[in-house]
Chains A and B, each alone.
Chain A
Amino acid sequence: MRKQSSGYLSRRESRAGILFVIPTMILLLVFSIAPIAGTLGISFSNYSLGVPMKFAGLENYRSVLGDSDFRTALMTTLKLGFGLALPGTLLAFLIAISINAGQKTNIFTSIFFAPVIYPPVVSAFIWSAAYRGDGFLNRILGTNIEWLTSYKWALFSIVLVMLWTNLGFYIVISLTGLRGISNTYYEAASIDGANRWEQLRWITIPLIKPVLLFIGIVATGDALQVFTQPYLLTAGGPGSSTRVLASLIYESSFRSLDFGASSTMAMVLLALALLISTIQFAFLRPKE
């Protein structure tokens, strides 16, 4: 950032800066800031397509928070979040250590990362084929599980797809964390005669812990926003056992056209997302 020098120059400079920023900021205002305000406004009103908007105060919030569909979706989303966060963090850590120990680091990282950028619609198709009765998952395992249609397995199946999709991202965060640990710790430990297990136990794990927590939070955030795969794989079923918050908001906006209640749910989702981001930033700050 430049210091202000003379009055003339800084005014010229300030005008140029504004000129460069303004067009983009107008787009940002129109396409994301104003819509947020819109969602907030609609959340306090009764509004549906074709019907004039009517102020409703906190009515939507009262009905949404008491609504069993909403509570179920919220619980399902949280279950998905924890289901993703725990194994995701653990697997990412183990695989990152393994990648870091060997050769061909980049190839392995790329392979694990590929599902992150793979079209979610395509991955939904692949998994819906894999989860069929005669699909390749039952075939490998020699089982006859109804992955997507039984209450017992449906949510687990969604977790598995999300794990496949996102693990590469968590591995990459773990790798960054591992590489951030200074070599001098290990050198000192080697001189003191610490073996690999002791180095892992007393250096790597304590120093990587914040990174692992960070991954857990990222994973919870991923579960909060996931839409495409659960929507296409199970459409929320069986019953509503896999209906996540994002799917519920979509359905109540664009199927039931109840914009008031949908906006209220969207505001709850936003609040949760911001909470998660706040915790993330708290983790990122003290480092470095």
Chain B
Amino acid sequence: MTLLKLKNPAGKGVVAGKFPIINYLALSFLALVFTIPIIWSIKAAFLRNGDIFAKEIFDFTGPWTTDNFVVGLKTVPFFTFFLNSMIVAGVTTIVILVTSLTAGYGFACFNFRWKKTLFALVIASLLMPFQSIMIPLFIGARQLHLIDSKLGIILPATVSAFGIFMMRQFLASLPRELMDAAYIDGCGYFMAFRKIVVPIARAPMATLAAISFLGNWNNYLWPLIVAQSEKVYTLPIGLTMFRGNEGSTNYGYIFAASFFAGVPALLVFLFMRRSIIQSYALTGINL
């Protein structure tokens, strides 16, 4: 009942004003329910394993400990996992920015043969589930001896159909006169790319960087297939090493390690939340 309220276009305060407080409270309650899992896991990272399940959810009295970080993270090569994830997510993001912006510029600002066909291929790959390409990717990686290497994890992620699509849409929305003026001033196409396209696309590039970083930072399936030894494990794969047999899992250690997987993702989201949300809303694609 309280949820069913419209945004009143003419005067928000008048129509929505009947139960604004109840609406606000209901929404806050739901938002709290949504955040409980994440808050609970961060709390658990600072509790002794025995206390984690003994305490009530909203019991924030401690006793707190940093043992899960100091001791727990040393039970596996945690730093290696973290570094690998940073390298994988960092490198793929940088390469994706380059490949997306150049191709986006080509598709948006030039005419050439097969352009429509090539762009259709981009759209097609945007829609393909990863399961439908992973077997040949694995076979190829195996033939090139890229299994169990960071390069093997990185390579297939260096091109993003979403990135190309996003950059094309952005650059195609710019007024044509902008590019024409540059060409008339004697700018070559590459000069125009460097002097105009790169600076002007800064905002969508930041969004794409955030989305690519999150996607590769969180990715589980492809690293699971490629990484086979601890030295190439990324954080999501390494985290599963903390799982013991039934009953022997130390959740304190798990959530200490999860802290370092979850918090970077949340930080990226915090800084770029508006543009990230907007690109999800506009494309309707769950990346």
Of the candidates A108, A113, A197, which one forms a contact with B27 in the assembled complex, judged by CB atoms under 8 Å apart?
Answer: A108
A21, B40: Cβ atoms under 8 Å? Answer: no
Verify if A116 is at the interface (C-beta below 8 Å from B): yes
Looking across the interface, which residue of chain B has its beta carbon closest to that of A268? B132
Verify if A154 is at the interface (C-beta below 8 Å from B): no
B111, A269: Cβ atoms under 8 Å? Answer: no
Cα(A173)–Cα(B283), bound, Å = 9
Looking across the interface, which residue of chain B has its beta carbon closest to that of A284? B284
Convert A265-288 into 0s and 1s, putting 1 for each residue whose CB lies closer than 8 angstroms to a CB of B. Answer: 011011001100100100010000
Verify if A16 is at the interface (C-beta below 8 Å from B): yes
Looking across the interface, which residue of chain A has its beta carbon closest to that of B270? A110
Cα(A28)–Cα(B3), bound, Å = 46
Q: Could you tell me which residues of chain B, from 89 to 127, have a CB within 8 Å of some CB in chain A?
A: 99-100, 102-103, 105-113, 115, 118, 121-122, 124-125, 127
A101, B16: Cβ atoms under 8 Å? Answer: yes
B129, A250: Cβ atoms under 8 Å? Answer: no
- Of the candidates A33, A42, A114, the one having the most CB atoms from chain B within 10 angstroms of its own CB is A114
Verify if B36 is at the interface (C-beta below 8 Å from A): yes
Verify if A46 is at the interface (C-beta below 8 Å from B): no
A267, B111: Cβ atoms under 8 Å? Answer: no
Verify if A79 is at the interface (C-beta below 8 Å from B): no
B40, A136: Cβ atoms under 8 Å? Answer: yes
Of the candidates A110, A197, A214, A280, which one forms a contact with B273 in the assembled complex, judged by CB atoms under 8 Å apart?
Answer: A110
Minimum distance in angstroms from B18 CB to a CB of chain A: 8
B262, A118: Cβ atoms under 8 Å? Answer: yes
Q: Could you tell me which residues of chain B, from 194 to 251, have a CB within 8 Å of some CB in chain A?
A: 214, 217-218, 220-221, 225, 235-236, 239-240, 251
Number of interface residues of A (CB under 8 A): 112
Q: Number of contact residues on B: which range applies?
A: 35 or more
B23, A13: Cβ atoms under 8 Å? Answer: no
Determine the chain A residues whose CB is within 8 A of the CB of B112 once the complex forms.
13-15, 17-18, 21
Q: A98-B23, A111-B31, A190-B10 are in contact. Are A126 and B41 (CB under 8 A)?
A: yes
Cα(A100)–Cα(B118), bound, Å = 40
B159, A31: Cβ atoms under 8 Å? Answer: yes
Verify if B83 is at the interface (C-beta below 8 Å from A): no
Verify if B151 is at the interface (C-beta below 8 Å from A): no
Determine the chain B residues whose CB is within 8 A of the CB of A118 once the complex forms.
38, 218, 262, 265-266
Minimum distance in angstroms from B103 CB to a CB of chain A: 4
Determine the chain B residues whose CB is within 8 A of the CB of A253 once the complex forms.
134-135, 138
Convert A210-233 into 0s and 1s, putting 1 for each residue whose CB lies closer than 8 angstroms to a CB of B. Answer: 000010001001101101100010
Cα(A288)–Cα(B178), bound, Å = 26
Determine the chain B residues whose CB is within 8 A of the CB of A10 once the complex forms.
111
Determine the chain B residues whose CB is within 8 A of the CB of A142 once the complex forms.
none
Determine the chain A residues whose CB is within 8 A of the CB of B218 once the complex forms.
117-121
Cα(A196)–Cα(B4), bound, Å = 9
Verify if A52 is at the interface (C-beta below 8 Å from B): no
Of the candidates A33, A172, A284, which one forms a contact with B280 in the assembled complex, judged by CB atoms under 8 Å apart?
Answer: A172
Cα(A175)–Cα(B103), bound, Å = 32
Total number of residue pairs linking A and B with CB closer than 8 Å: 322
Q: Could you tell me which residues of chain A, from 28 to 76, have a CB within 8 Å of some CB in chain B?
A: 28-29, 31-36, 38-39, 42, 49
B258, A266: Cβ atoms under 8 Å? Answer: no
Cα(A38)–Cα(B137), bound, Å = 9
Of the candidates A121, A214, A270, which one forms a contact with B132 in the assembled complex, judged by CB atoms under 8 Å apart?
Answer: A270
Convert B139-159 into 0s and 1s, putting 1 for each residue whose CB lies closer than 8 angstroms to a CB of A. Answer: 110100000000000011011
A14, B5: Cβ atoms under 8 Å? Answer: no
Q: What are 30 of the A-B contact pairs (CB < 8 Å)?
A: A13-B110, A13-B112, A16-B110, A25-B118, A27-B158, A28-B125, A28-B164, A31-B133, A31-B137, A35-B136, A36-B128, A97-B5, A101-B16, A108-B31, A113-B273, A121-B239, A125-B41, A125-B258, A129-B53, A136-B57, A140-B57, A164-B37, A172-B281, A175-B281, A176-B281, A186-B8, A232-B240, A269-B132, A273-B128, A273-B132
Which A residues are within 8 Å of any B CB, using their own CB?
1-2, 4, 10, 13-21, 23-25, 27-29, 31-36, 38-39, 42, 49, 94-95, 97-104, 106, 108-123, 125-127, 129-130, 132, 134-136, 139-140, 164, 166-167, 169, 172-173, 175-176, 178, 183, 186-187, 190, 196-197, 199-200, 204, 214, 218, 221-222, 224-225, 227-228, 232, 245-246, 249-250, 253-254, 259, 262-263, 266-267, 269-270, 273-274, 277, 280, 284
Which B residues are within 8 Å of any A CB, using their own CB?
2-10, 12, 15-16, 18, 20, 23-24, 26-27, 30-31, 34-38, 40-41, 44, 52-53, 56-57, 99-100, 102-103, 105-113, 115, 118, 121-122, 124-125, 127-140, 142, 155-156, 158-159, 161, 164, 172, 176, 189-190, 193, 214, 217-218, 220-221, 225, 235-236, 239-240, 251, 254-255, 258, 261-262, 265-266, 268-269, 273-274, 276-277, 280-282, 284, 286
Extra inter-chain contacts (20) besides given A17-B106, A35-B135, CB under 8 Å: A1-B108, A2-B109, A13-B112, A16-B110, A20-B102, A21-B106, A27-B159, A32-B128, A38-B133, A102-B20, A120-B218, A126-B258, A140-B57, A173-B284, A176-B281, A183-B9, A225-B129, A266-B134, A269-B129, A273-B132
